[in-house]
Amino acid sequence: MTSLRSRFTTTGWYYLVVLLFILAGSILQQLNLLMLLFSLMVFPLAWNWGTTRRCVASLSPRRNAPVRLFAGTSCRATVQLQNRRRRRCWSVLVRDRLVRIQPQPQSFSPVAWTLQVPPRGTAEASYQPLQLPRGVYQWEELELESSFPLGLVRSIGRQRQVQRLVVYPPLGQLTQAWRTRGGLRICWSQGKPRRHSLLEGEFYALRDYLPGDNRRWIHWRSSARRDELIVRQFQESPSRRLCLVLDLWSPEFDKTESQVLEDLLSFVATVLEDQVRQSGSELWLVLAAGSVQQVRGPANRDTLHRAWELLAGAWPQAADPLPQLQQQWETGREHRTELLVVSLTAEGQRRDKLQWLARKMDCLLWVDPQRLSRFFQPPHQLAPHTPAVPGNPSHHPSQVPAGGRS
């Protein structure tokens, strides 16, 4: 424990007042029996003080908490207590502190309790599950407390254990209109437009299973060898890249519109996850919110998590980032690249400011809150299911292919 302190409980203060009355009476009346009674009553107080301090000082806590999950998923965390002394520790209360750093500050104080910690052994205390909104969080300080056995003195030990937690936007479901881009024909710089089925393309590589993958893609030999689901990844021919620009410019953002923002972020997160599953190309996300941030890399799980983390801390800003974006992309042209703009603002107010970007790509698709329902079904409109822990499909029973092998 980095710090340890003791203080009286409410019962302890009453006990102390009675003790002082006895001491004052024994001195004023010079009664030896009252002095003897005072001496006898001091012992339980001192014993309770020493017992609680030794109990808390001998415990070593270790937090077990997820490092990432989806919004709406129950955050289940536990604390493992290790007892270093030869005597049993009783009735230990554990308090923790979880702070949301982005996008808006918020704090949580989960509490756990364990009846006993065996000598030279360990015990586990579980917090109540938390329903956390999207954001970037940080676990901060663990606090252990014990007042056993008399409840007169409470000893509190604190230990700082910093741990990061990222809560991603929840995933929804893309509609058939998204698969065809609303009838938009993708015109490449060479050749005629061509559509690909979900399974069309050449074999590219093997990758870990992601929720929603087709069971026909599973490579059973590799899955049995690694004891986890492995799927085949296909590369479309010709390779089609998607540049996704998330425009969160809003001069006067109303918090009552926060659900619209969450639906847009959920749509972007679902599109990125779909890109990883459907093709072997790259991921390219540009977040324009006050400043310009972007994630670009191969379509794998690491790039996907970096993009999701960028979405976790996104929030509308009054500063217009498009001039800065134009300075970064003044030269060069991205061939065979499809541009998708997801904006909080209606197309008529912002599209003219992005024409220079549309000229650098092969085509432009605009999605705003009015058009979102055509391409996307938000998670709160879907049937309830057991959410997954990102990167761990084994914890997502509703998404594991039926009839799959273990």
3-state secondary structure 222-277: HHHHHCCCEEEEEECCCCCEEEEEEECECCCCCHHHHHHHHHHHHHHHHHHHHHHH
Give the number of domains in the chain.
Answer: 2
Distance CA 39, CA 328 (A): 79
- Has residue 24 been placed in a domain? yes
Rounded to 5°, the CA angle 261-105-256 comes to 35
CATH number of domain containing 25: 2.60.40.10
Predicted local distance difference test score (pLDDT) of residue 265: 93
The candidate with the shortest Cα–Cα distance to 334, out of 221, 227, 235, 242, is: 242
Predicted local distance difference test score (pLDDT) of residue 402: 33
- Has residue 404 been placed in a domain? no
Q: Are residues 133 and 203 in the same domain?
A: no
- Has residue 191 been placed in a domain? yes
* pLDDT one-digit tens code per residue, 302-361: 999 999 999 999 988 888 777 777 776 665 556 567 778 888 887 777 766 666 666 666
Q: Which one of 133, 151, 168 terminates a domain? A: 168
Q: Are residues 39 and 130 in the same domain?
A: yes
Which of 34-48, 324-338, 389-403 is predicted with the least confidence, judged by mean pLDDT? 389-403
Q: Are residues 39 and 181 in the same domain?
A: no
Q: What is the mean pLDDT of residues 297-305?
A: 88
CB neighbour list of residue 10: distance below 8 Å, 6 or more residues apart: none
Q: Are residues 140 and 191 in the same domain?
A: no
- Has residue 253 been placed in a domain? yes
Query: Which residues are registered as beta bridge partners of 246?
Result: 287, 342
Distance CA 292, CA 273 (A): 22
Q: Is the distance from CB of 251 to CB of 229 less than 8 angstroms?
A: no
Average pLDDT, the chain: 81
Q: Are residues 25 and 115 in the same domain?
A: yes
- Domain span at residue 347 reads 173-395
Q: Are residues 78 and 224 in the same domain?
A: no
- Has residue 403 been placed in a domain? no
Residue 154 has pLDDT above 90, yes or no: yes
- Has residue 256 been placed in a domain? yes
Which of 105-119, 177-191, 254-268, 361-375 is predicted with the least confidence, judged by mean pLDDT? 177-191
Q: What is the mean pLDDT of residues 146-161?
A: 92
Q: Are residues 7 and 104 in the same domain?
A: yes
Predicted local distance difference test score (pLDDT) of residue 220: 87
The pTM for the full model equals: 0.75
* pLDDT one-digit tens code per residue, 213-266: 777 778 888 888 888 888 877 654 445 577 888 988 887 777 767 888 899 999
| Residue of higher predicted confidence among 176 and 96 | 96
Q: Which one of 136, 168, 200 terminates a domain? A: 168
Q: Is the distance from CB of 310 to CB of 166 less than 8 angstroms?
A: no
- Has residue 209 been placed in a domain? yes
Q: Is the distance from CB of 341 to CB of 354 less than 8 angstroms?
A: yes
Quick one: three-class SS letters along 163-217?
EEEEEECCCCEECHHHHCHHHCCCCCCCCCCCCCCCCCCEEEEEEECCCCCCHHH
- Has residue 406 been placed in a domain? no
Place of tokens 């881009």: 181
Q: Which amino acid is at 213?
A: D
Q: Are residues 255 and 337 in the same domain?
A: yes
To the nearest 10 degrees (0 to 180), the angle between helices 258-278 and 301-312 is 170
Q: Which amino acid is at 21?
A: F
Q: Are residues 51 and 17 in the same domain?
A: yes
CATH number of domain containing 284: 3.40.50
Residue 80 has pLDDT above 70, yes or no: yes
Place of tokens 């009054």: 318
Q: Are residues 74 and 156 in the same domain?
A: yes
Q: Which one of 137, 168, 199 terminates a domain? A: 168
Q: Is the distance from CB of 142 to CB of 44 less than 8 angstroms?
A: no
Characterize the bridge pairing of strands 337-343 and 241-247.
parallel
Q: Are residues 192 and 318 in the same domain?
A: yes
Q: Are residues 48 and 119 in the same domain?
A: yes
| Residue of higher predicted confidence among 387 and 38 | 38
